Amino acid sequence: MTAKVLTRLDFKLPKELIEYEAKAVRTHLGESVIRFETDQTLVYMTSRSKFDSFLAEKAVEAGAELKDKKPVRSVEATGTHVEVKTSDGDFRSKMLIGADGMGGQTARTGGFYASWKPDQVAYAIESEVYVGEKGIRDFVGDGSYLDLYFGVSSAGYGWVFPKNDHLTVGVGCRLSRLHDGQDLLKGFTKRVQGLETFDIPKPDAHLIPLGGAAKIPAARERMLLAGDCAGFAEPLLGEGIYFSILGGQIAADVAAEACFRERFDRRFLSDYERRCWRAFVADFDVAYRIACLSYLEQYDMDRISHFFFENKQFQDCMVGLMEGSLRYRDVRAKLAWPYFKYRLARLGFPLSS
């Protein structure tokens, strides 16, 4: 998770949850590798199952009642309440916040229009490659790097994230460009130097909605959607944890207000969509357009490295986006000039960065 995630939590994460702190990024573009280093943590690596369990514990500490292993089958809003049917009984409440991921039952059975086109969804496949602690040190080298690989998949990228004793190795692409997920990962791992001698265990694959593109409604009478089921993942790099947490917090505020005022109508609850738009969905639109420009045209590695990844202003923008001091709408203006020069250079004008 990027450093800005911690700014949304009003408690500290236990040390044992943080398996690695990346302060530097290695960007691989074809044969070239561009490094940039900082003196601050940009990304905290954690294991999702432990992180999610910890968040659930904190919710219980704050008074929530956790009912686990009761898959929701359907949800329905009536004039007086929401009815949730699970494999182990039914529940009623005044309001419901659905956060059951992409393709979850809340959006599907709750009457939300939630259909995604294949070019509005990312396919991501990753494997946890055990390399041992020495293997991590060998792979990472001197700095505390994470690695991103561009040009390894059509309309997507690859990543290698170090953890305690294993590397999370993954690659994503637009679902519309997917041929064979296993082949995509196999092809990617062959291109990553340093993985040759390790077994690549069975991967997991999931979909990520490229938020902002589809804009499915996130509020209906008595119901709100948060996280992936609302499409709240950033469309350029597929970051979703931060936006799930932020959207969830806004949803909680709006739900509390609705209960206080006894207003559960769509008109009142649509304030949630407006607040999410102002907080982050507006940035998804910008990120989606950048993604279309960066991924859908033929990669021009040399010029992209030269005008962007080696450019100090671009690197500062990456840091700002990760730590949360910049949003995509701020970055757009900052990168307009390097982008303009890049386009001119592609047309044949002899320009330096």
Residues 1-40 that bind ligand FAD (CB under 6 A): 1
Burial 144-170 (b: 16+ CB within 10 A, else e): bbbbbbbbbbebbbbbbbbbeebbbbb
Q: Which CB sits closer to ligand FAD, 1 or 178?
A: 1
Q: Which is nearer to ligand FAD, 44 or 264 (CB)?
A: 44
- Alpha-carbon gap, residue 337 to 332, rounded angstroms: 10
Please state, in angstroms and rounded to a whole number, the distance separating the CA atoms of residues 195 and 117. Answer: 34
Among 195, 123, 111, which Cα is nearest to 153's? 123
Name which of 287 and 345 has its Cβ closer to ligand FAD: 287
| Residue 58 interacting with ligand FAD (CB under 6 A) | no
By CB under 6 A, what part of segment 108-137 binds ligand FAD?
A: 124, 126
350 binds ligand FAD (CB under 6 A): no
Least distance (Å) between residue 227 CB and ligand FAD: 2
* Nearest to ligand FAD of 125, 335 (CB atom): 125
Map residues 252-291 to x or -, x wherever contact with ligand FAD holds by CB under 6 A. Answer: ----------------------------------------
Q: Which residue is nearest to ligand FAD (CB)?
A: 240
We find the least distance from the C-beta atom of residue 191 to ligand FAD, in angstroms, to be: 18
Instruction: Pick the binder of ligand FAD from 25, 29, 42, 72 (CB under 6 A).
Output: 72
Contact between 170 and ligand FAD by CB under 6 A: the answer reads yes
Asked if 239 interacts with ligand FAD (CB under 6 A), we say yes
C-beta of 303: minimal distance to ligand FAD in Å? 28
Q: Is 98 in the site for ligand FAD (CB under 6 A)?
A: no
**Residues whose CB is less than 8 angstroms from the CB of residue 255 and which lie 6 or more positions away in sequence, other chains included:** 95, 97, 224
Which two three-digit tokens encode residue 194? Answer: 């340093």
Least Å distance, CB 131 to ligand FAD, is 18
Contact set with ligand FAD (CB under 6 A): 1, 71-72, 99-101, 104-105, 124, 126, 170, 206, 208, 227-228, 233, 238-242, 244
